Amino acid sequence: MENILARFAQVAARPLDYAKQWKQETGGRVIGIFPMHFPGELAYAAGALPMVVQEDDEPVTIGQSQVFSFYCGYNRSLIDQALRGEFDVLDAILFGDHCVQLLGTADVIRAHLPTKPILFNQLCSILDADWAMEETRGTFRQLWTELETLTGTKIEEASVHTSIRLFNCNRSLIRRLYDLRRTGEIELSARNMQHIVKSSMVMDKAQHTALLEQLLSGLVHAAPKARTVRVFLSGHMCHAPKPALLDLFEDCGCTVVDDDLYTGFRFIFADIDETGSPVDALASWYLTRSQKVPCPTRAVKGLDWEQYLLDAVAQSRAQGLIILMAKFCEPHMFFYPEIKEAFEKHGIPHLLVETEHEGVALESLKTRVDAFVEVVGRRAAAAPVARIGATV
Ligand code: SF4
């Protein structure tokens, strides 16, 4: 089990190294996919390796002159990686357009890598509009054709069905880990959970799924170490929070029982229909996902992230919420005041932690997390029956 977790950690730390090795071994194409809405199933069905492009840990240097300093760390890191030649391993990049900053990044990368094939696809942002289904079908049909042209391979419907089944299987195995952790049957640190999801965004799904099956069959059911409070982690769009930050929460006495992080539950919660037309299935998957775990970059009438969070916190029996917000992430910033108000109204402690590519001052943050843990502990002690198992 330790070896499997170590392998996931290795891929999560050096995703482009994994891609290079995969390419050497298979001779296949690697397609970098920008987060957060394009599925990798079509590219996989074309025989390529779809990998979600990740932030790296290097300081932003030569890319800094190409980007506003008020862009989020993920965007600045992407531009820097592109200028450093890190994306040479990618045979194409699939851009989405879910935030204004990402559009700017796409332009810079296009300008600096003029020979890199770019697949630019727009998915509609109003998910319950009358025209959304037909529009989304059209986007996936276009992507299907573009991938066939790029790879020189005809993508058969049967291959897409096989790909969808494999990806669903991978997601369901990770959800099983989430279930076991939520119910307290296993001890799985937030760092390890992130490594599992992040490596799933990168690795060949068949390889990753085989490792997950081994991991699940060898899991020893053991109650989590006694810590003081159960917490839910929320936010952090597009990229992974630094593992040291997750360790800090646990070192301060938090047990992370659930999350809606992109490099977490948000990536694996929804499956794609395995029957019928794959284009219809992909479109339905995209249009209905936000109804289960709302995304701040998408709009659905009457759907609020704060209500989802209140319900999710109650269902996971978390006693407090930690919001991880990437600095300058506008979509997330727009939602925060409503989340804050809702949690204050319901008397559920929450802590906002702003993250940066350059890192977070862990010592001063530790003081805030210690205070948060104390507040959560006191509230839980004052009203244990009301909070635990409460439905909102
Ligand atoms: S983290 Fe936020 S600001 Fe950055 S690309 Fe994602 S949605 Fe946009």
Asked if residue 34 belongs to a domain, the reply is yes
Secondary structure of the chain in the HEC alphabet?
CHHHHHHHHHHHHCHHHHHHHHHHHHCCCEEEECCCCCCCHHHHHCCCEEEECCCCCCCCCCCHHHCCCCCCHHHHHHHHHHHCCHHHHCCEEEECCCCHHHHHHHHHHHHHCCCCCEEECCCCCECCCCCHHHHHHHHHHHHHHHHHHHHCCCCCHHHHHHHHHHHHHHHHHHHHHHHHHHCCCCCCCHHHHHHHHHHHCCCCHHHHHHHHHHHHHCCCCCCCCCCCEEEEEEECCCCCCCHHHHHHHHHCCEEEEEECCCCCHHHHCCCCCCCCCHHHHHHHHHHHHHHHCCCCCCECCCCCHHHHHHHHHHHCCCCEEEEEEECCCHHHHHHHHHHHHHHHHCCCCEEEEEECCCCCCHHHHHHHHHHHHHHHHHHHHHCHHHHCCCCC
Ligand 1: atom nearest CA of 35 is: 6
Residue 51: is the preceding peptide bond cis (ω within 30°)?
no
- Structural domain boundaries, residue 144: 15-155
Q: Calculate how far, in angstroms, residue 109's C-alpha sits from the geometric centre of ligand 1.
A: 16
**pLDDT, tens digit, for every residue of 11-65?**
999 999 999 999 999 999 999 999 999 999 999 999 999 999 999 999 999 988 8
Q: Calculate how far, in angstroms, residue 348's C-alpha sits from the geometric centre of ligand 1.
A: 27
The number of beta carbons lying within 10 Å of the beta carbon of residue 285 is 19
pLDDT score for 312? 96
Asked if residue 263 belongs to a domain, the reply is no
The CATH number covering residue 117 comes to: 3.40.50.11890
From CA 107, how far away is CA 19, in angstroms rounded?
24
pLDDT score for 226? 65
Q: Is the CB of 68 under 6 A from ligand 1?
A: no
Q: Calculate how far, in angstroms, residue 284's C-alpha sits from the geometric centre of ligand 1.
A: 24
pTM beyond 0.85 = yes
Tally of structural domains, the chain = 1
Asked if residue 94 belongs to a domain, the reply is yes
> Which of 36, 74, 107, 290 is the best mutation target for the ligand 1 pocket, counting ligand atoms within 8 Å of the beta carbon and taking the most?
74
pLDDT score for 389? 39
Asked if residue 88 belongs to a domain, the reply is yes
Q: Calculate how far, in angstroms, residue 99's C-alpha sits from the geometric centre of ligand 1.
A: 6
Asked if residue 366 belongs to a domain, the reply is no
Residue of the CA atom closest to atom 3 of ligand 1: 329
Q: Calculate how far, in angstroms, residue 335's C-alpha sits from the geometric centre of ligand 1.
A: 13
Pull the structure tokens for residue 99.
């935030």
Asked if residue 71 belongs to a domain, the reply is yes
> Which of 237, 239, 328, 356 is the best mutation target for the ligand 1 pocket, counting ligand atoms within 8 Å of the beta carbon and taking the most?
237
Asked if residue 195 belongs to a domain, the reply is no
Low-confidence stretches of the chain (pLDDT < 50) are 385-392
Asked if residue 60 belongs to a domain, the reply is yes
Q: Calculate how far, in angstroms, residue 73's C-alpha sits from the geometric centre of ligand 1.
A: 8
